Amino acid sequence: MNYSETIEYLFNKLPIYQRSGKSAYKADIGNIVKASEILGNPHLNFKSVHIAGTNGKGSTAHMISSVLQESGYKVGLYTSPHLKDFRERIRINGEMISEKSVIEFVGNYKKEFEEIDMSFFEMTVAMAFHHFSEEKVDIAIIETGLGGRLDSTNIINPLVSVITNIGIDHAVLLGNTIEEIATEKAGIIKENTPVIIGREQKECEDIFIKKSKEKNSVITFCSGETKHQTDLKGNYQLENVRTTLFTIKKIQEEGFIISERNIKKGLLNVVKNTSLLGRWQILNKQPLTICDTAHNEDGIGEITKQLKTIKYDNLHFILGTVNDKNIDKILSLLPSEAKYYFCQADIPRSLDKELLQNKSSKYLLFGNTYTSVKSAYSNAILNAEKDDCIFIGGSTFIVAEII
């Protein structure tokens, strides 16, 4: 298979949660254990940091990676989902895995992995661990996909475990309450391994403390202000900066040499070092055009708060979401004075644009529907004056079709 055929196989022959939803989710880690045995357990060949959480885990992973890169280390970075290119998921010092490596990995292990019924996510996790082992990274920053306890990434034995925060998301799979979701995320806490909790939340505190005691793990709740700045523009990134700083301190305690200058430069060069996209990303200045991958109640709440700090004449909001979320709380947070452009991403999991328009009207959010995300964007550009603001969001997949 060539690269396009390989990607076609990965996307269309394997169950993939991001596109299909619940039917692709596997609530156990048996397959990744079997796959790792086939590969010779590559995850045992490198040090790692494991990150779970409802929001901020991707940004935090990229920040930590950037700081370690500035410190001279060879850093693997595994995140999901990707926005434009599958290979975004697997990077070393900001460089995506090569097309050749993807082709060879799938070609070499396709038959054996099919026999154990691998999912798309399991395949990519196995590919990442194999790549990081082959390339002999000094450390890998590994982001969970869903939850933590049963996530395929949860076979690693990290230097430190990180849980950014807990909000309601993927309730169908992880639970309908903060406490249930926190229990799933707490599943990444390992024996004798320090754990960093990015946000102090009373509903979760006892769950995390109990789990850390069971595992004899030192737990740290992040608190206090920080003067460090980052090139990532969202106000919500301040929490992720703080989580990063607490995590870096633990990594230093494990023998990694990281100076204050490395930390400062790493935080100010996250985009340059890691190519992170879609976090309060400014696409144009006149009219001011912003996109963000926030897609749940907690994330959208942060977005609406920051939009209120911006001066503009009119707000044009390009909105799309997926069909397996309870979006009523999200819609209730959105500004009613905006003009909405309802659309859906080109994936099976998208919520029908007419249904979204109908649901939104109950919250006094009005606008037209469009046949594609690009059509919605084009119309927003036509309608917006230079002192207006265009915002694009509601789903990672909406943003992916614009940037």
pLDDT tens across 68-79, in order?
999 999 999 999
Nearest to 403 by CA among 369, 370, 368, 373: 373
Q: What is the pTM of this model?
A: 0.94
Band of pLDDT at residue 175, cut at 50, 70 and 90 = low
Give the pair of three-digit tokens for residue 342: 């309802």
Band of pLDDT at residue 26, cut at 50, 70 and 90 = low
Taking a C-beta distance cutoff of 8 angstroms, is the pair 318, 341 a contact? yes
How confident is the model at residue 30, as a pLDDT?
78
How confident is the model at residue 21, as a pLDDT?
46
pLDDT > 80? residue 263: yes
- Sequence ranges of the chain with CATH classification 3.90.190.20: 281-400
How confident is the model at residue 169, as a pLDDT?
61
Mean pLDDT, residues 370-378 taken together:
98
Q: What's the Cα-to-Cα distance from 185 to each of 124, 129, 273, rounded to whole Å?
A: 20, 21, 28
Give the Cα separation of 375 and 341 in Å (integer): 9
Band of pLDDT at residue 131, cut at 50, 70 and 90 = very high
Mean pLDDT, residues 139-153 taken together:
91
Spatial neighbors of 300 by CB under 8 A, at least 6 apart, are 294, 330, 333, 334, 393, 394
Higher model confidence: residue 142 or residue 17? 142
- Sequence ranges of the chain with CATH classification 3.40.1190.10: 3-274
How confident is the model at residue 22, as a pLDDT?
46
Domain spanning 3-274, CATH class: alpha beta
Question: Looking at the domain that runs over 281-400, which CATH code has it been given?
Answer: 3.90.190.20
Q: What is the 3-state secondary structure (H, E, C) of the chain?
A: CCHHHHHHHHHHHCCCHHHHCHHHCCCCCHHHHHHHHHHCCHHHHCEEEEEECCCCHHHHHHHHHHHHHHCCCCEEEECCCCCCCHHHHEEECCEECCHHHHHHHHHHHHHHHHHCCCCHHHHHHHHHHHHHHHCCCCEEEEECCCCCCCCHHHHCCCCEEEECCCCCCCHHHHCCCHHHHHHHHHHHCCCCCCEEECCCCHHHHHHHHHHHHHCCCCEEECCCCCCCCCCCCCCCHHHHHHHHHHHHHHHHHCCCCCCHHHHHHHHHCHHHHHCCCCCCEEEEECCEEEECCCCCHHHHHHHHHHHCCCCCCCEEEEECCECCCCCHHHHHHCCCCCEEEECCCCCCCECCHHHHHHHHHCCCCCEEECCCHHHHHHHHHHHCCCCCEEEEECCHHHHHCCC
Amino acid at the residue 276: L
Least confident of 19-28, 118-127, 293-302: 19-28
Mean pLDDT, residues 98-126 taken together:
95
Taking a C-beta distance cutoff of 8 angstroms, is the pair 290, 391 a contact? yes
How confident is the model at residue 147, as a pLDDT?
77
Give the Cα separation of 372 and 353 in Å (integer): 9
Is the Cα torsion angle 14, 18, 24, 28 positive or negative in sign?
positive
How confident is the model at residue 349, as a pLDDT?
86
Mean pLDDT, residues 271-298 taken together:
96
Band of pLDDT at residue 24, cut at 50, 70 and 90 = very low
Please report how many Cα atoms fall inside a 13 Å half-sphere around the Cα of residue 318, on the Cβ side: 35
The per-residue pLDDT for range 195-251, each reduced to its tens digit, is: 999 999 999 999 999 999 999 999 999 999 899 999 999 999 999 999 999 999 999
Residue recorded with tokens 């003067």: 227
